[in-house]
């Protein structure tokens, strides 16, 4: 994958041309989690573009989901993007939902996978035993159906992050903001075509969360991926891309 571009205070990846698929990553997930999307969709007429959310660089008072939605709006203005398809995992899906509510004219489609916004489990308010590498390894593996997906590189990154006090404070602030900003009353008003692609074994945002999203979002379709946890685009990239491509084609997006 290409190296990140840094311009105007934004750090991002952009590959391909055509209708933009704007990726929004999760709280503990980087852009590399979407390698399969970056590799696949530019070959099928899409531009895949992903800003790094300012989880660790924003002011603590701005470390909340609504500010991040406004950050995405600023990025889109900078890149002159419109008619985007937003693809969000975990926290990124939550930010995408708020963006859809605030800026409905800029978005053509929304893809949620393991999204927060209704209910999510977390590792706790203070990451107990965060200095215990094996504990962090077990918790990271639990995010996936297959623990093998949690490579040593991924576990090392999580371990480094939760043991950096400044980063940990931002993570906890962001997680609390996501819990506070429940969107159950907002979802029926979000009138955008939505694909909900969910792991049937997700323990962070359990299957009933996907069912509730599907019931509350007026233009949504729900797709399940079996033997899959919280990050379907990582754990089953081929299946994920196939579902998304078929949905985009049916919706003429």
Residue 172 pLDDT: 87
Q: How far is CA 203 from the centre of its chain?
A: 16
pLDDT digit string, tens, across residues 147-163 = 999 999 999 999 999 89
Region at 83 (left for phi over 0; alpha for psi -120 to 50; beta for the rest): left
Sign of the torsion angle spanned by Cα atoms 133, 138, 144, 147: positive
| pLDDT confidence tier of residue 236, bands split at 50, 70 and 90 | very high
Looking at every residue in the chain, the average pLDDT score rounds to 92
| HSE-up of residue 29 (Cα within 13 Å, Cβ side) | 28
CATH superfamily of 5-121+181-250: Alpha/Beta hydrolase fold, catalytic domain (3.40.50.1820)
pLDDT digit string, tens, across residues 132-145 = 999 999 989 999 99
Residues 210, 198 contacting (CB under 8 angstroms): yes
| pLDDT confidence tier of residue 28, bands split at 50, 70 and 90 | confident
pLDDT digit string, tens, across residues 29-75 = 788 899 999 999 999 999 999 999 998 888 888 888 999 999 999 99
For the chain, give every domain's residue range.
Answer: 5-121+181-250
Helix intervals (H) in 3-151: 35-40, 65-79, 91-102, 133-141
């Amino acid at each position: 994958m290409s190296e990140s571009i840094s311009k105007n205070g934004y750090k991002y990846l952009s590959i391909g041309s055509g209708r933009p698929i704007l990726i929004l990553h999760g709280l503990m997930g980087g852009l590399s989690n979407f390698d399969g999307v970056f590799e696949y969709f530019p070959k099928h007429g899409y531009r895949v573009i992903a800003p790094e959310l300012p989880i660790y660089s924003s002011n603590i008072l701005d470390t909340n989901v609504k500010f991040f939605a406004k950050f995405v709006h600023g990025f889109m203005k900078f890149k002159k993007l419109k008619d985007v398809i937003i693809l969000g995992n975990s926290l990124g899906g939550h930010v995408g939902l708020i963006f859809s509510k605030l800026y409905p004219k800029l978005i053509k489609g929304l893809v949620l996978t393991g999204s927060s916004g209704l209910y999510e489990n977390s590792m706790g308010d203070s990451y107990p035993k965060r200095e215990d590498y094996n504990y962090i390894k077990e918790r990271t593996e639990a995010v996936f159906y297959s623990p093998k997906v949690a490579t040593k590189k991924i576990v090392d990154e999580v371990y480094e992050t939760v043991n950096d006090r400044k980063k940990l404070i931002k993570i906890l602030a962001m997680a609390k903001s996501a819990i506070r900003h429940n969107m159950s009353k907002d979802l029926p008003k979000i009138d955008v075509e939505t694909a909900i692609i969910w792991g049937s074994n997700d323990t962070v945002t359990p299957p009933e969360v996907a069912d509730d999203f599907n019931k509350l979002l007026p233009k949504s379709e729900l797709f399940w991926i079996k033997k899959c946890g919280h990050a379907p685009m990582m754990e089953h990239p081929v299946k994920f891309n196939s579902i998304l491509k078929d949905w985009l084609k049916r919706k003429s997006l």
